[in-house]
Structure 1
């Protein structure tokens, strides 16, 4: 494994904790491609794709939440799951938006990851099941996300005890929610965690084609289909759909974790540069030897454990300010 933090103002990356790629990562790579990757790259209807993704994730044992209690939670009319740490009481809350191209995915795919973050931080992790396209196109999911944030604030949890998180499309949604909150006059959360966020729905990043040979989960063709389902003929550059094109002035500190080998790599790299230019504190962590949203596999993958430990440290740093 090789993980490093990259200062977006410095073209030369600074490496930390250089280690070889784990044996488990090497063994899991073909399995990821044949299970989750096959589903996410399939042209099957989204309804079938959703079921197939849950089945594939179950085969990878991603639903095993160790050290946390899982309960159903409806917030502002949005169903979801709430993961709370065992034996701890805190109002600190991570609102985590799942990935899936805005058309597939579900909270239960992230219970193992959420339980690990909850145990490491002592915080609650709320996993909203926001509405999906094409049945509910843009901005339905964003409306749900912002409604959830408003409700958590209204429940008495201060903004400085709230963080947003998300992966892939959910990473883009977490950014869009922060932008929409700012524009609505709401306070910013303490921090935002974005795992391989999908920030550019114009799919203009060089890595979209340049990393096809090393991508295990996504495909440019299916990315286009997700965009069509989510936006239809709407403008792909509107900032609340493609946060890459937003003005980041006043947005919360941002942690970005991304694999150097995935097609969304440039979505993260360019986001980090744009946010940093607006004065946002950005920690961009570029990983080697892993795949899109590897963080969802704690216990199975050492690199996931390390990434989530870094996430917990980032959250605790900003929750304590």
Structure 2
């Protein structure tokens, strides 16, 4: 059911938070909802493959996201530098205090494959850069309908190739991504491996979308507590991969062969998101294949809670980001020995 059945309360279940989350999270959740409503409520994504419609929608959506992220960047003292690596735009997030290391941290943003950007999705790279004391390179890949899964993963590989050509070895590079960016992180790493190229030292994934057929159990069982619009998400996926490629491992990495080797991986997800099954199934696939993988689940948390701009100082987001930074740092240290 889509509404609560407590007396006469008909508030949608997704707006009822469990008592098990922190008071700080409850307050941050309310502030973000208020900001969205003040801006006119959630904008419906286009049900069209017209690139002009998508560009107009993304301009508005990205501007709103940038405005929410601005206070976080100001608090952290993060600055940005634009680059082009392998003909792909990349935005470097430089922390206030930067360690004199030669490691590289790469981030792939989410946005349902059709939206987001290196500037709009600023919270995740800014927070991890601050925790690591390392710059984070955010890849500004070509979103759908401008790019499909094969061309976008090629762009990620091109960034890795450019870094290698510039003298940064793969074992001093770590990769993380959220949602659609988590899918791209896994798929692009598989592509690097299949092309006989070195893979990153470690991969971290926040709420990755890895099954474009949406066959996981929680796609249905948690639909009422998530904010996804499945009709519009399915339309976007059709542009990104299409019916003939939904099981291709570079589109749906859950179908990848992990027995061929894969970097140590951290997977984080929340108990109030439809993609929880994607994380569980990916963990099982990697674990059975003998990969070093950890599944880290957060009670009462929604999709990519680590990067909610109003929630970066909540206990839940702080813990998840600290564990991500510690995981990536531990493998950078091991690769340096």
Q: TM-score range by the shorter chain?
A: 0.7 to 0.9
Distance 1:57 1:319, change over 3 A: same
2:299 to 280, 288, 292: 288
Higher mean C-alpha deviation, range 139-148 or range 114-123:
114-123
Other structure's SS at 2:100 match: coil
2:108 to 64, 80, 97: 97
2:272 counterpart of 1:264: no
2:319 counterpart of 1:306: yes
Instruction: Give 1:46's aligned residue.
Output: 54
CA-CA distance at 1:266 after TM superposition: 0.5
Q: Show the 5 A alignment for 1:1-321.
A: 20-30=20-30, 32=32, 35=36, 39=42, 42-43=45-46, 45-61=53-69, 64-65=72-73, 66-85=76-95, 86-216=97-227, 218-249=228-259, 250-296=261-307, 297=309, 299-321=312-334
Unaligned 5+ runs, structure 2: 1-18, 48-52
Q: C-alpha separation between the residues in 2 aligned to 1:31 and 1:25?
A: 10
- Contact map agreement 1:212 1:219 (CA 8 A) in 2: no
CA-CA distance at 1:52 after TM superposition: 3.0
Larger radius of gyration: 2
Higher mean C-alpha deviation, range 229-238 or range 122-131:
229-238
Distance 1:62 1:205, change over 3 A: farther
Deviations 1:71-127 (A, max 9, x none): 111111111210123343222111111011111111113333322212221222100
CA-CA distance at 1:320 after TM superposition: 1.1
- Contact map agreement 2:98 2:135 (CA 8 A) in 1: no
Deviations 1:204-244 (A, max 9, x none): 1111121111113x222222011112123432001000000
Q: C-alpha separation between the residues in 2 aligned to 1:95 and 1:192?
A: 10
Q: C-alpha separation between the residues in 1 aligned to 2:180 and 2:293?
A: 19
**TM-score using structure 1 length:** 0.87
- Contact map agreement 2:178 2:206 (CA 8 A) in 1: yes
CA-CA distance at 1:276 after TM superposition: 0.7
Q: C-alpha separation between the residues in 1 aligned to 2:253 and 2:315?
A: 31
Q: C-alpha separation between the residues in 1 aligned to 2:60 and 2:220?
A: 26
CA-CA distance at 1:31 after TM superposition: 5.1
- Contact map agreement 1:54 1:109 (CA 8 A) in 2: yes
CA-CA distance at 1:22 after TM superposition: 1.9
Deviations 1:30-65 (A, max 9, x none): 5545739x6476446432331232233245335632
- Contact map agreement 1:39 1:53 (CA 8 A) in 2: no
**TM-score using structure 2 length:** 0.83
- Contact map agreement 1:208 1:220 (CA 8 A) in 2: no
CA-CA distance at 1:132 after TM superposition: 1.2
Distance 1:47 1:201, change over 3 A: same
Distance 1:316 1:40, change over 3 A: farther
> What is the number of residues matched between the two proteins?
302
Distance 1:41 1:276, change over 3 A: farther
Other structure's SS at 2:316 match: helix
